[in-house]
Amino acid sequence: MEYVSVEEAVELPGLRLVLGPGSPGPWNEAAKAFFRLKGIAFTPVAKPPEGEREGLLRWTRQTSAPVAMYEKERPRSGWAEILFLAERLQPAPALVPEDPYQRALMLGLCFEICGEHGFGWTRRLLILPSDTSGVHDSMPWKYGLEDAAAAAGAAQRLRRILELLARQLDEQRARGRRFLVGENLSALDVCWATFSNMVAPLPHEQSPMPDWLRAVYETPISGVTPPPALLEHRDFVFGEYLGLPQEF
């Protein structure tokens, strides 16, 4: 992907999406997919290296990615904020079910993937070095590695989230449905597909992530094995909707 700098992006109109270049960060990939599936054009903005983020902080009020900046509106850095911006800008195809129950179910399951102590968060607890948890603004500090109970139970939590998603997929298939919620592609399918790389990376030709990151994601986690049906569903979503290879 071709990126512009923060300084360049501030002066541009339309939708600008701050992303971490060079690797398939799951929150980044999900955010990109929300807009692309709806045909919403955006300008990719490169998140600056650590120690050079003063401009990003002034513009977006924080230093992480992704962040969606639309025209002169407020920054949106949460996955749900970004999703609902996409829904507002282009209602069709909808990625959030209209039915209240299905919507609540989908958002709850998305939180189990994207939210605090969800799949992505918990996977990072197992990756980050524990000896720097007290360093302000470091990744371990942001992810709360001082929470010893969360860190100790991370593998078990990952397994339970995978079991939850697999059960949901099984129930949908028993109804003759192809998607994780309802009868159409939703943000939940997108989130599972993009976050699945963290435990079962796509092949290099489909996701050319750095070797060091692939090695981390391929490291076995005791008791954690993604069910084959979930990986099959991931491949279906990428093949039919998101497209491959990933670009970052």
- What CATH number has the domain bearing residue 31? 3.40.30.10
Give the closest residue to 173 by CA, choosing from 225, 195, 165, 243: 165
Domain boundary among the residues 54, 89, 124 is at 89
* Number of domains into which the chain is organized: 2
At residue 151, the pLDDT reads: 79
pLDDT at 134: 57
Inside any domain, residue 248? no
Are 84 and 117 within one domain?
Answer: no
In this predicted structure, what is the pLDDT of residue 184?
98
- 237, 131: one domain: yes
For the chain (length 248 residues), average pLDDT per consecutive 10?
98 98 98 99 98 97 98 98 99 98 99 98 85 54 62 92 99 98 98 98 98 96 95 99 98
Q: Does residue 110 share a domain with residue 77?
A: no
In this prediction, residue 144 carries a pLDDT of 57
Which pLDDT belongs to residue 138?
Answer: 54
Q: Are 133 and 141 in contact (CB under 8 A)?
A: yes
157 shares a domain with 49: no
Q: Rounded to an integer, what distance in angstroms lies between the CA atom of residue 166 and that of residue 59?
A: 40
Strands 43-46 and 15-19, sheet pairing = parallel
Give the domain extent around 114: 100-242
Q: How large is the C-alpha radius of gyration of the chain?
A: 18
* Model pTM above 0.85: yes
Per-residue confidence (pLDDT) for residue 189, from 0 to 100 = 99
Tell whether 53 and 150 lie within a shared domain. no
In a domain, 78, yes or no: yes
Q: What is the pLDDT of residue 152?
A: 82
Q: What value, to the nearest 5°, has the Cα angle with vertex 64 and ends 62 and 69?
A: 70
Look at residue 247 and tell me if it is in a domain: no
